[in-house]
Amino acid sequence: MSAAPTAIDRRWQTLGDVALIGCERQPLPADDGDDALARLCATLPADGPQALLDRLAAHALARRAGRRVPPVPAAVEPAADETRMPCPPAAAALLGQLLAGEDELLPEWLRLAAEAGVYAPPETLPLLLDRAARDSHLRDAVAAISGRRGLWLAAQNPAWRWLTRSAPAAVEPADERLWQDGSPEQRLAWLRACRRIDPDAARARLVADWKTEKAEHRRRLLEALSENLGPADEDFLEAVLDERAASVRAVAASLLLQLPGSALLARHGARLAALARFTPATAPGMLDRLLKREAGPGTLELDLPPEPLPPDWLRDGIDPRAPKGIGPRVHALVQLIAALPPQSWAHAHGLDADAACALWLGLEAPLPAAWAQALLAHADAGWAAAALRCPAGLALPMLAGLAARVPEAGRGPLLAARLAAVRGSLQAAPVQALFGQLLPLASQPELFEPLRAFLASRLPQTVHDHYAWSQLRAWLRLVPVAPALAALRDWRLHAAPELYPRYDDLLALLERREHLPVAFLPAEPT
């Protein structure tokens, strides 16, 4: 804005103050200035309400007419051409219906579109990006079908930047200018790409520039070492444990825990060994043999860590800040258990996977969850299966993750046995928790029959049994359609007549699911 409009703005503000207070209490300002507006105002009456209104009108017109047009921003480059096929018209119409109303089948539509290798209709992208901005569970699925137009749109709206952050950047590791002069996202993408090709060279570049990086950038760059993580990274990661920023130290500790034989694992192992005392079981006596009672693996006693935590514990990533409802010493013990490979502790005490899982999963909460977390981080399929065979493992929040580790051939029978063990339970909470943990696996064919039998034993008995109906609906959104239709029709056949409308609503859901894959079939040539 030029000097004259700035002066006009100042006089406009002064006139506004006079109008607010009243020209009877404050006189009009003098018409000083050498611009055309000041000369015009000098010809107007000098006092009174009409003089104030005349000057306000003149200044309002000058403020509008005297502003310079802001420079036109540079034209935005158009979106690149799509490399995939658009989704068929029938699928596009279905997506429009899902976005306009009930969207419970939207995740399945997104999955089918990704499997078909098509991109979403451009006119639906703003709604899809908005949905995914609010629901992070949809982001990967939406990113898979957004295409190049989606990336172009996301660059124009800060609310959609999650898409540009999640999309893998195309970088050339040989182009070191990206590392030297690129944006934080470009530098991170370059480092990851370099780690995939030459991990030692990438680490050397990070080490060379480490001291000049900001703390918030150090954490993200350090996470890139998860690509091709190996023993050669240990010395640098150990040095990072001495950093001031707790978030950076936490990343270094998590990476060191993924390195078999690392010094950090050895230090944590020594700490747990000093706190855990295992006493093997004695041989069963005559009465035990007569009653066919099996002896357990033994007893396990645990001491709490020292208070306050020693400085070396804090350096190694043990967080002293405990969540609500758990003491800091128990929280430190939980972190130790979760960090260590279960196999190493079990082998040191001559226990197999089943015995070790029975021992640890039978402890008081929250220790079993810590053992399960260690299994997820370090154990193989055999150890995951041992945890699922243990009755105490049913309430684990990691149940679905452990089940996913077991090969498909053995997963179905194993989980069927677990479901059968609680099918007749009168305690609703454990049963509901178990079903909720297994629900993410419902789309796997080998789990259809175990979950069907489980639900068949707990079908809703009234129209007001809302939890049972919601369980049933959640299951029907995930399982294969054909066997689910057969099961649902059979359940409806044997249900009370007043339940027919609820079953019909569920049948309509399955019929909509049945039509979804058909919409993605290519149109037949005419």
Q: What are the sequence ranges of the domains in the chain?
A: 3-65, 177-259, 427-526
Q: What's residue 172's pLDDT? A: 66
CA 293, distance to chain mean position in Å, is: 46
pLDDT computed for residue 72 by the predictor: 72
Contact 404, 441 (CB under 8 A): yes
Tell me what pLDDT residue 291 has: 43
Per residue in 81-102, pLDDT tens? 888 899 999 999 999 999 988 7
pLDDT in tens, 311-327: 999 999 999 898 888 89
Residues 6+ apart with CB under 8 A from 421: 391, 394
Number of helices and strands (H, E) in the chain?
Answer: 30, 4
Residue 523, φ and ψ in degrees, nearest 5: -65, 140
Q: Contact at 8 Å (CB) between 225 and 233?
A: yes
Residue 166 is predicted with a pLDDT of: 62
Predicted local confidence at residue 293, as pLDDT: 39
Residue 505's CB: how many other CB atoms inside 10 A?
Answer: 11
Is residue 20 pLDDT above 70, yes or no?
A: yes
Q: What is the pLDDT of residue 58?
A: 85
Query: Can you tell me the mean pLDDT for 65-90?
Result: 80
Mean pLDDT, to the nearest integer, of 279-295?
A: 55
Residue 110's pLDDT is what?
94
* Confidence at residue 393, expressed as pLDDT on a 0 to 100 scale: 60
More confident residue, 313 or 297: 313
Mean pLDDT to the nearest integer, 498-503 = 95
Least confident of 175-179, 397-401, 512-516: 397-401
25 or 456, greater pLDDT: 456
| Entry pTM | 0.65
Res. 1 pLDDT band, cuts 50 70 90:
very low
**Comparing 522 with 259, which gets the higher pLDDT?**
259
3-state secondary structure of 302: strand
Q: What is the pLDDT of residue 252?
A: 95
How many CB atoms within 10 Å of residue 377? 15
DSSP structure string for 135-165: -GGGHHHHHHH-HHHHHHHHHH-GGGHHHHH
First and final CA of the chain: distance in angstroms? 63
Q: Which letter, b or e, does each residue of 94-133 get, where b requires 16 or more Cβ atoms within 10 Å of its Cβ?
A: bbeebbeeebebbbbbbebbbebebbbbbebbebbbebbb
387 — pLDDT class (breaks 50, 70, 90): confident
Q: Read off the tokens for 131.
A: 């949905």
More confident position, 110 or 73:
110
User: 3-state class of 46 per DSSP?
Assistant: coil
Cis peptide before 308 (omega within 30 of 0): yes
Question: Tens digits of per-residue pLDDT, 101-139?
Answer: 877 899 999 999 999 999 999 999 999 999 999 998 899
pLDDT at 409 > cutoff 90? no
Query: Rounded distance, CA 93 to CA 64, Å?
Result: 47
**Mind listing the pLDDT tens digit for each residue in 231-284?**
999 999 999 999 988 889 999 999 999 999 999 999 999 999 999 988 887 655
**pLDDT value at position 28?**
79
**Element holding 448 (H helix, E strand):** helix 448-456
pLDDT at position 268 is 95
How much is the pLDDT for 64?
78
Residue 287 has pLDDT above 60, yes or no: no
| Separation of CA 279 from chain center | 41
Q: Quick one: pLDDT at residue 430?
A: 55
Q: What percent of the chain has pLDDT over 70?
A: 87
Residue 446 CA to residue 411 CA, distance in Å, equals 7
CB 411 within 8 A of CB 446: yes
Kindly report the average pLDDT of the chain as a whole number.
84
Count how many residues are written for the chain: 526
Residue 285 in this model has a pLDDT that exceeds 60: no
Mean pLDDT of 413-430: 64
Contacts 24+ apart (CB under 8 A), 73-82: 76/156, 78/152, 79/148, 79/149, 79/151, 79/152, 79/153, 80/148, 80/152, 81/148, 82/119, 82/147, 82/148, 82/149
**Confidence band for 45, pLDDT divided at 50, 70 and 90:** confident
Contacts of 149 (CB under 8 A, 6+ apart): 79, 82, 119, 122, 125
